[in-house]
């Protein structure tokens, strides 16, 4: 038995009012009691993706500016003057600096800079340092975070198609350089994405995590998920504990979330919450099931997403993404599937198979094999089971190469889907327009 003083403290609070609700979550969790005086504080929100072409779908994808500002105010009240907000968003062009600058501006972070002296950094413009996490794993982390005295981690409360949930630990992957992020999606069956994510907290300075569940995301992490207004905050000074409770709130047992199981093993802890004390609201009163996986149908004809199978699409097999697909290729995945569905005219295609990620192997007997991305091309370029190889070799692949490859296979993807990649979020966000609970004000700083 753990006596209660040994237990890790996690608070669950209903989000009701600006500042007041975040203050309550912090105080119940004793979240800032380990904050040193005059600390250098690094705040890590979640801006997984941004586009300048449409009003970006923020709900359930990106941390609300409301919770970020409330945390800044609570730090300032404790006399903290050295505060940095840092993020490394994914952009189609890795050299693109304007998009993240636009995110900081639009989300009101520059106002926080003027009002509270907060600095905003794009981690890709800052130095990285290599950290040995043991067991042969070394990753490059943003140096500003490593050398801060205290980290405030503010992810969104969401599920994730690859890792079941994406919460405090996973959010810190955004402080890695691109090379290390790709390394996390390794083809090594032992040291897979979940294993790598579980190692991340081992190098953390003291940290307070608050899961922003004002909006939650089912089948996240992106804008193609199903967004809900949930009004939940979950907070703790212990990142593994907050993630385990967050998983439960999303309807998933921590023992069924591989990265949480690994992290618990690393730190010699149970996954049944028996060493955690939950204060504030009860888990059962706040939990609601959030699915994480996109359903696929398998049969003798191959594999397709269930809605496409129901359309009667035949002659193409597009296997379900695996853990080795990194963020760059995963952004193309949805638009490609949309394009295939739109290109279907009722006639079966000519035994085509599409492979993604780093580890898939071709099915013998398929006539045409499309390899999307440099990694899967490298893995299969000499595979004798491929009759006709159509390779898209880029990293990340260019949308023109993708369209050309499918044309070569006889599938006429509509290029405008890809020409307007930056507009795709707008298409998914239309369904939330004019619904009063989806309020833009949460992403503004007045």
CA 221 to chain centre: 5
- Let me know: does 146 contact 203? Beta carbons within 8 Å: yes
Q: What confidence score (pLDDT) does residue 57 get? A: 60
Residue 260 DSSP SS3: helix
Q: Is 315 exposed, middle or buried (0-12, 13-18, 19+ CB in 10 A)?
A: middle
Burial of 45-78, coded b for 16+ CB within 10 Å and e otherwise, reads bbbbbbbeeeebbbbbbbbbbbbbbbbbbbbeee
4-292: CATH homologous superfamily? LarA, N-terminal domain (3.40.50.11440)
CB atoms within 10 A of CB 33: 11
Q: In whole angstroms, how far apart are CA 371 and each of 306, 331, 334, 374?
A: 22, 16, 16, 8
Q: In whole angstroms, how far apart are CA 119 and each of 43, 180, 208, 435?
A: 10, 25, 19, 34
Give the position of tokens 């006539």: 367
Q: Is the pLDDT of residue 26 over 70?
A: yes
pTM of the model: 0.93
Of the candidates 370, 366, 364, which has an alpha carbon nearest to the alpha carbon of residue 350? 366
Phi, then psi, of 375 in degrees rounded to 5? -65, -50
d(CA 263, CA 257): 10
What pLDDT, in 10s, does the model give residues 137-162? 999 999 999 999 999 999 999 999 99
CB atoms within 10 A of CB 310: 10
Residue 208 DSSP SS3: strand
What pLDDT, in 10s, does the model give residues 370-427? 999 999 999 999 999 999 999 999 988 899 999 999 999 999 999 988 877 778 788 8
Domain borders along the chain are 4-292, 296-427
Region of 357 please: left (phi>0), alpha (psi -120 to 50) or beta: left
Q: What confidence score (pLDDT) does residue 334 get? A: 85
- Dmax (CA) for the chain in angstroms is 69
What pLDDT, in 10s, does the model give residues 201-255? 988 999 999 999 999 999 989 888 899 999 999 999 999 999 999 999 999 999 9
Q: What confidence score (pLDDT) does residue 3 get? A: 52
> What are the residues whose beta carbons fall under 8 Å from the beta carbon of 58, sequence distance 6 or more?
64, 440, 442, 443
Strand partners, 388: 368
Strand partners, 160: 164
What one-character DSSP code corresponds to residue 331? Answer: H
- Let me know: does 12 contact 286? Beta carbons within 8 Å: yes
What pLDDT, in 10s, does the model give residues 168-203? 999 999 999 999 999 999 999 899 999 999 999 988
Q: Is the pLDDT of residue 33 over 60?
A: yes
Q: What confidence score (pLDDT) does residue 156 get? A: 98
Give the position of tokens 């006399």: 79
What pLDDT, in 10s, does the model give residues 307-331? 999 999 999 999 999 999 988 888 8
Q: What is the Cβ-side half-sphere exposure of residue 14, based on CA atoms within 13 angstroms? A: 5
| 20 token code pair | 């007041």
Residue 23 DSSP SS3: helix
Complete DSSP assignment for 134-180: STT-EEEEEHHHHT-SEEEEE-EEEEETTTEEE-HHHHGGGGB-HHH
> What are the residues whose beta carbons fall under 8 Å from the beta carbon of 307, sequence distance 6 or more?
341
Helices (H) and strands (E) in the chain, counts: 17, 18
Handedness of CA 15, 18, 21, 22 (dihedral sign): positive
Q: In whole angstroms, how far apart are CA 75 and each of 46, 112, 205, 215, 316?
A: 19, 13, 16, 24, 55
Cis omega before residue 115 (within 30°)?
A: no
Complete DSSP assignment for 376-399: HHHHHTT-TT-SEEEEE--SSPPH
Residue 280 DSSP SS3: strand
Q: Is the pLDDT of residue 4 over 70?
A: no
What pLDDT, in 10s, does the model give residues 95-120? 888 999 999 999 999 999 999 999 99
What one-character DSSP code corresponds to residue 7? Answer: S
Residue 438 DSSP SS3: coil
What pLDDT, in 10s, does the model give residues 250-309? 999 999 999 999 999 999 999 999 999 999 999 999 999 999 988 899 777 679 999 999
Confidence category of residue 1, pLDDT binned at 50, 70, 90: very low
- Residue with the larger pLDDT of the pair 331 and 339: 339
- pLDDT > 90: percent of the chain: 80
- Let me know: does 357 contact 325? Beta carbons within 8 Å: yes
């Amino acid at each position: 038995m753990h006596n209660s003083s040994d237990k890790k403290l996690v608070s669950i609070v209903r989000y009701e009012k600006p500042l007041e609700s975040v203050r309550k979550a912090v105080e119940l969790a004793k979240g800032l009691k380990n904050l040193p005086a005059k600390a250098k504080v690094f705040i890590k929100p979640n801006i997984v993706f941004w586009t300048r072409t449409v009003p970006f779908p923020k709900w359930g994808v990106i941390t609300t500016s409301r919770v970020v500002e409330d945390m800044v105010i609570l730090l300032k009240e404790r006399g903290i003057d050295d505060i940095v907000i840092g993020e490394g968003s994914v952009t189609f062009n890795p050299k693109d600096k304007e998009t993240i600058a636009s995110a900081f501006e639009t989300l009101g972070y520059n106002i926080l800079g003027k009002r509270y002296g907060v600095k905003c950094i794009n981690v890709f413009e800052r130095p990285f340092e290599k950290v040995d996490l043991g067991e042969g794993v070394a990753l490059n982390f943003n140096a500003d975070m490593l050398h801060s005295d205290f980290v405030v981690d503010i992810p969104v409360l969401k599920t994730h198609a690859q890792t079941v949930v994406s919460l405090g630990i996973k959010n810190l992957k955004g402080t890695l350089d691109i090379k290390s992020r790709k390394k996390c999606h390794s083809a090594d069956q032992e040291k897979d994405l979940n294993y790598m994510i579980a190692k991340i907290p081992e190098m953390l300075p003291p940290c307070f995590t608050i899961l922003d569940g004002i909006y939650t995301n089912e089948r996240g992490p992106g804008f193609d998920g199903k967004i809900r207004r949930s009004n939940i905050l979950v907070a703790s000074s212990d990142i593994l504990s907050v993630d385990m409770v967050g998983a439960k709130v999303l309807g998933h047992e921590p023992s069924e979330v591989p990265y949480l199981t690994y992290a618990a093993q690393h730190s010699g802890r149970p996954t049944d919450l028996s060493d955690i004390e939950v204060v504030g609201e009860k888990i059962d009163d706040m939990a609601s099931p959030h699915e994480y996986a996109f359903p696929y149908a398998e049969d003798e004809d191959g594999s397709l997403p269930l809605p496409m199978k129901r359309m009667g699409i035949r002659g193409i097999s597009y296997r379900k993404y695996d853990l080795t697909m990194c963020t760059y290729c995963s952004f193309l995945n949805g638009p490609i599937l949309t394009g295939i569905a739109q290109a279907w005219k009722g006639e079966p295609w000519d035994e085509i198979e599409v492979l993604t990620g780093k580890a898939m192997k071709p099915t013998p007997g398929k006539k045409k094999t499309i390899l999307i991305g440099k990694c899967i091309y490298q893995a299969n370029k000499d595979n004798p089971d491929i009759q006709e190889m159509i390779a898209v070799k880029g990293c990340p692949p260019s949308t023109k190469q993708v369209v050309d490859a499918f044309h070569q296979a006889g599938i006429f993807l509509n290029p405008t889907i890809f020409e307007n990649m930056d507009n795709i979020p707008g298409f998914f966000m239309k369904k939330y327009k004019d619904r009063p609970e989806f309020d833009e004000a949460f992403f503004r700083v007045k």
